[in-house]
Amino acid sequence: MNLDQVILRMKEIVLEVGKYQLELHRSNKFKIDKKSTQTDLVTEVDKESERMILEKIREYYPLHNILTEESGAFEKHSDYTWIIDPLDGTNNYASGLPIFGISIALAYKDKSIAGVVYLPYLDDLYEAYKGNGAFCNGVRIHCGKTEDLIESIVATGFPYDKHISNENNLDNVNNIVPKIRGIRRLGSAAYDICLVAHGVYDAYWELGIQKWDMAAGQIILEESGGIVEILEHKRPISLIAGNAKIIDSLKNEILK
């Protein structure tokens, strides 16, 4: 597998889809529906963005598996799987906020080996493939080295069923906020992980995200020198991202 070519094709796709998303952003010309809860939104922009991405991937890699947020899994019994979030930050997008992005990863035997995350409004493009380092807009990036929680800026998020589930992350936030320098919540897991890779955040944690939320961000973070640690938890995927020392400190607070 030529990963240089894979990354070039990923970037071609996300730039095209990002242009489409910008054309409709803040236009009120797209339909919004609800999925699992009143706060779990999907727009026709999500669906059309996914269609555009799938069309290209099937053209380039017709024998690969695909896993997408909106359409689910397409199994081809391949060792390679494309993992796609066509519009990460749908709530932001639907509300006219500028923090939203496109996340595409390629996994080999369930391990991310290449990924791109593109923020169309910000025009920031994060990319990485295994063994080649991580980049934002062509410039090499590195995970931060902060070790002490009290000196750290940390990001998190909340599940869509926070109003009905006791595992809604609120207890963790109440416990952690007095022990850190600051907390942020942007509403895009893929971007949050990229900001850790960029050294903007020191760490990020979230309970109950999905593969498409973190697959591209994970390889970008790993290639920047950071790590993603998956927590034992009832929800689908719960994780902490950062350098090893800050992860240990944060994990002790989350698992209390």
Which range (40-54, 74-88, 200-214, 237-251) has the least confidence? 40-54
Which range (37-41, 49-53, 155-159, 251-255) has the least confidence? 37-41
Q: Write down the architecture of domain 149-254 according to CATH.
A: 3-Layer(aba) Sandwich (3.40)
Residue 256 has pLDDT above 70, yes or no: no
pLDDT in tens, 181-192: 999 999 999 999
Q: What is the percentage of the chain residues whose pLDDT exceeds 70?
A: 93
Q: What is the sign of the dihedral through the CA atoms of 245, 249, 251 and 252? A: positive
Q: Which fold would CATH assign to domain 3-140?
A: Fructose-1,6-Bisphosphatase; Chain A, domain 1 (3.30.540)
Q: Which residues pair with 77 in a beta bridge?
A: none
The pLDDT score that the predictor gives to residue 1 is 85
Cα–Cα distance between 171 and 217 in angstroms, integer? 26
Top-confidence residue, 220 or 38: 220
Assign 27 a pLDDT band (cuts: 50, 70, 90).
confident
Written in H, E and C, the secondary structure of 132-167 is CCEEECCEEECCCCCCCHHHCEEECCCCCCCCCCCC
Each domain of the chain, given as residue ranges in start order, spans 3-140, 149-254
pLDDT in tens, 141-181: 999 999 999 999 999 998 776 566 667 888 899 999 999 99
Residue 33 has pLDDT above 90, yes or no: no
